[in-house]
Structure 1
């Protein structure tokens, strides 16, 4: 499996990472923009209309207070939009009836809705706007209906922008969560694959080494030649296991780097079954291979079948207490059928271990199945059905 990339490229075909401004910039931008729009305009209007000093100071103070209130929008977006609405209402009712747009209110609404304080924003803005219309009609000249409609539309647009921002943020959050979950799933699958490969290789080798070493110790004095043969088998098995472990580790190291750098060690296939079956034979235990195939399936199917047979024979040697095992490979319709029977203790309700789980996983990866049941020989039967053309 290709290693995920985290350098801005789109992993697993996803979207590339986009530039994201710092939280400080996001916080200060509305403050700076609204202050630049409101404060100089308030000063200019006060000077141009020759307002009293008290009114001028109050007008500039309201123009500055709104942007400064936005500094609390990150931690308290609801109270912030309420406070800015009150400041905007005061600025709107303060004479003269002309002035710059209160941009801080637009930012307060957008930030509140985007951060989930929709209720605060609706109650504050609706209350403030209704109060502005009523107070303006009572205290000063009546506003033109077009002005009321345009201002209402602008306020509604701010709510729409805030909703859009919130939806975008929620989608981005969901995308990041999905990406993290896919990464964890890929890592878990990779760990399971590595564990399965190492279990099959090391488990089988150690089981064979244990059996042959026991035979060698038992026959050391009575039959030195047979003991020597057992020790040679231990040497061969350990050498083969070491090569397979190196192959697995080499493939792991080379993944995501360069396919051409991967080790070119051949994978086990059905042609290796005779050596596998002969290798588990020992005094008091014999194994037989019945090969009924006229042709070979794709390499992926052969490799899975070999590993399943290897694990099944390992379980027979380690747990069954059997004297005989028979491995049968044949084609049944569109499936490769692999059967391993023994005459040992049989299935007695034990909890399935990692070996059987690994066999099922190998078969499932190709769309096949593995069944473990009572054998007609009295022991256990492992039956693997693998789609003949899988992995082609």
Structure 2
């Protein structure tokens, strides 16, 4: 609007003052009014782009027919066309411009005006460029809106993945801790009168497990606060004996067969393997009704080095049912952990009965 006023008002005054013939005052008043009316009409282009371009086209038509043939261009019309096309009022712009253009040619011929071909070509090119600018702005706006929508979807997807990761960590930590505390509390109650020392040790295990679980939960939730790091180090394979000792009871024997010969895979692989073993043992304690569980750690080098973790028990197994829907929680979590590293988890019935969990994880860079 400001640019149109700065161009059209001085040009309109100059045109009216230098036009041949009489009637300077009415021509000056008319061209000054048209020079102001067109730019002011652009104020409505945001809410009413279609009617605005039609009104500005009418003002431009009157200006063209009353000004000299080689008068200044009506700049407000170019802005009105571009704004209308950019806001989707393409039909309004096309109809208004075509009507004004045809009327200018026909009325001009009727009143004896001679339109130079070069002038017609220049005006047509100018109008076409106005449409092109409007189309470019509209396309760019749509592209930017799509980019923003994609970014928002990616942000929501990242937030969802983070929520799933935190939920998986909390499930593993709390599920194992509560199962372990339930086992040790049951042992303590069972031995409370017969063997007070063993009962006291079981209750001490409950205390230690709850303390460690609280620290791990704080560590998991610490990622929700900017700049906060976990309060405890991530679990490694070296922590498996402590994990197994906390779950071993007089009615459940858990054996660890470590065949790694002192070598260790990458930290990420160790953490995933620890959580998978933790979940498998928790399921064995809660669901399998097993008396013996065996955990085997081994490295295989064909074709690429991998860590193979096998957890078997002599419980009731799955009886051929799908482990993901058979009531044992955490199976999907184990598979997700392995998939994030490019590995996999096979869960099903063992060859000799009971359940078997086999996790294959890439070895990665040794730590």
Q: TM-score surpassing 0.5?
A: yes
> SS of the counterpart of 1:153?
helix
> In the superposition, relative to structure 1, how do residues 93 and 354 fare at CA in structure 2: closer, same or farther (>3 Å)?
farther
Q: Which residue of 2 aligns with 1:131?
A: 103
State the distance in 2 between where 1:146 and 1:98 align.
11
Q: Which residue of 2 aligns with 1:272?
A: 239
Q: Which residue of 1 aligns with 2:272?
A: 304
> In the superposition, relative to structure 1, how do residues 325 and 193 fare at CA in structure 2: closer, same or farther (>3 Å)?
same
Give, in angstroms, the shift of residue 55 of structure 1.
3.9
> Is residue 375 of structure 1 aligned with residue 350 of structure 2?
yes
1:325 alignment partner, one of 293, 313, 319:
293
Give, in angstroms, the shift of residue 346 of structure 1.
1.9
Q: Which residue of 2 aligns with 1:206?
A: 178
State the distance in 1 between where 2:317 and 2:206 align.
28
State the distance in 1 between where 2:56 and 2:8 align.
13
> In the superposition, relative to structure 1, how do residues 86 and 391 fare at CA in structure 2: closer, same or farther (>3 Å)?
farther
Tell me if structure 1 keeps the 8 A contact 2:172–2:279.
yes
1:248 alignment partner, one of 198, 220, 228:
220
Tell me if structure 2 keeps the 8 A contact 1:339–1:384.
yes
Q: TM-score, normalised by structure 1?
A: 0.84
Instruction: Summarize the alignment of residues 217-228 of structure 1 with structure 2, pairs less than 5 Å apart.
Output: 217-228=189-200
Give, in angstroms, the shift of residue 95 of structure 1.
4.3
> SS of the counterpart of 1:227?
helix
Give, in angstroms, the shift of residue 227 of structure 1.
1.1
State the distance in 2 between where 1:147 and 1:315 align.
86
Q: Which residue of 1 aligns with 2:306?
A: 335
> In the superposition, relative to structure 1, how do residues 218 and 353 fare at CA in structure 2: closer, same or farther (>3 Å)?
closer
> In the superposition, relative to structure 1, how do residues 264 and 219 fare at CA in structure 2: closer, same or farther (>3 Å)?
closer
Give, in angstroms, the shift of residue 206 of structure 1.
1.2
Tell me if structure 2 keeps the 8 A contact 1:366–1:390.
no
Give, in angstroms, the shift of residue 241 of structure 1.
1.8
Q: Please, which moves more after superposition, 244-253 or 103-112?
A: 244-253
Give, in angstroms, the shift of residue 263 of structure 1.
5.0
Q: How many residues align?
A: 357
Q: Please, which moves more after superposition, 215-224 or 119-128?
A: 119-128
- RMSD of Structure 2 on Structure 1 (CA): 2.3
Give, in angstroms, the shift of residue 252 of structure 1.
4.3
> Is residue 193 of structure 1 aligned with residue 168 of structure 2?
no
Q: Which residue of 2 aligns with 1:106?
A: 78
Instruction: Summarize the alignment of residues 23-34 of structure 1 with structure 2, pairs less than 5 Å apart.
Output: 31-34=1-4
Tell me if structure 2 keeps the 8 A contact 1:301–1:390.
no
Q: Which residue of 2 aligns with 1:41?
A: 11
Give, in angstroms, the shift of residue 225 of structure 1.
2.0
Give, in angstroms, the shift of residue 86 of structure 1.
2.0
> In the superposition, relative to structure 1, how do residues 147 and 98 fare at CA in structure 2: closer, same or farther (>3 Å)?
closer
The ranges of structure 1 where at least 4 consecutive aligned residues each deviate by more than 6 angstroms after the TM superposition are: none
State the distance in 2 between where 1:232 and 1:331 align.
36
> SS of the counterpart of 2:109?
helix
> SS of the counterpart of 2:110?
helix
Tell me if structure 2 keeps the 8 A contact 1:341–1:377.
no
> In the superposition, relative to structure 1, how do residues 391 and 262 fare at CA in structure 2: closer, same or farther (>3 Å)?
farther
State the distance in 1 between where 2:364 and 2:273 align.
13
The unaligned stretches of length 5 or more in structure 1 are 1-30
Tell me if structure 1 keeps the 8 A contact 2:17–2:24.
no
